[in-house]
């Protein structure tokens, strides 16, 4: 009996070992399955991350293209405005020069009128007659119609320019 009880002890211990190894095998399978699931989940997460990264990169590339287009439009606008400004500035310089010339002419003509208005009528007639006779005039006027009562000051108006 001792031998049979020894056999039974040995068979029960082998059953415990078998059931232990089956349980270990089952736990190993569960751990392998979890590892596979985790790996698959990590792969999927990495794939989604790459897709988000690619989408973000595509958005940045599109934004760069749009900003480059906007920048070119702004540069064209600046170039056009600068060109227009330079043309206006040149035209303004011409108009200022013309205004200076016309102002000088107006001053000169007003000086002439002032000189004619200060002379008496007899001096004017005498000098104009003398100018026709000798062809030398000290005042430079050869028009006999420049009588003092006909002379009026010349006024500049904005319409002149």
When pLDDT is averaged across residues 76-83 and rounded to a whole number, the result is 97
Q: What is the pLDDT of residues 137-154, one digit of tens each?
A: 545 455 555 555 455 555
Three-state DSSP at 161 gives coil
When pLDDT is averaged across residues 99-123 and rounded to a whole number, the result is 84
Report which of residues 21 and 141 the model is more confident about: 21
pLDDT over 50 at 79, yes or no: yes
Three-state DSSP at 153 gives coil
CA 3 to each of CA 6, 16, 147: distance values in angstroms, whole numbers, following the listed order? 5, 20, 167
pLDDT band at 104 (very low <50, low <70, confident <90, very high): very high
pLDDT of residue 122: 53
pLDDT over 70 at 130, yes or no: no
pLDDT of residue 52: 97
On average, the pLDDT of the chain sits at 78
Report which of residues 70 and 15 the model is more confident about: 70
Token pair of 8 as six digits: 């039974």
Q: What is the pLDDT of residues 85-98, one digit of tens each?
A: 999 999 999 999 99
Report which of residues 80 and 12 the model is more confident about: 80
Q: What is the DSSP string of 91-143?
A: HHHHHHHHHHHHHHHHHHHHHHHHHHHHS-HHHHHHHHHHHHHHS--SS----
Residue 156 near residue 97, CB atoms below 8 Å: no
Token pair of 148 as six digits: 């003092």
Place of tokens 């200076």: 100
Report which of residues 140 and 74 the model is more confident about: 74
What is the C-alpha separation between 161 and 150, in angstroms, rounded? 26
């Amino acid at each position: 009996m001792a031998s049979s009880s020894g056999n039974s002890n040995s068979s029960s211990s082998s059953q415990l070992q078998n059931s232990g190894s089956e349980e270990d095998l089952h736990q190993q399978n569960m751990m392998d399955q979890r590892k596979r699931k985790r790996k698959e989940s990590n792969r999927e997460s990495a794939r989604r991350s790459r897709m988000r990264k690619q989408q973000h990169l595509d958005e940045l590339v599109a934004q760069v293209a749009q900003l480059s287009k906007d920048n070119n439009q702004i540069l064209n606008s600046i170039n056009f405005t600068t060109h227009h400004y330079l043309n206006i500035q040149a035209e303004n310089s011409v108009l200022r020069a013309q205004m200076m010339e016309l102002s000088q002419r107006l001053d000169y003509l007003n000086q002439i009128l002032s000189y004619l208005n200060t002379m008496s009528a007899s001096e004017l007639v005498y000098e104009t007659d003398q100018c026709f006779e000798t062809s030398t005039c000290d005042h430079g006027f050869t028009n006999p119609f420049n009588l003092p009562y006909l002379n009026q000051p010349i006024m500049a108006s904005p319409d002149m320019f």
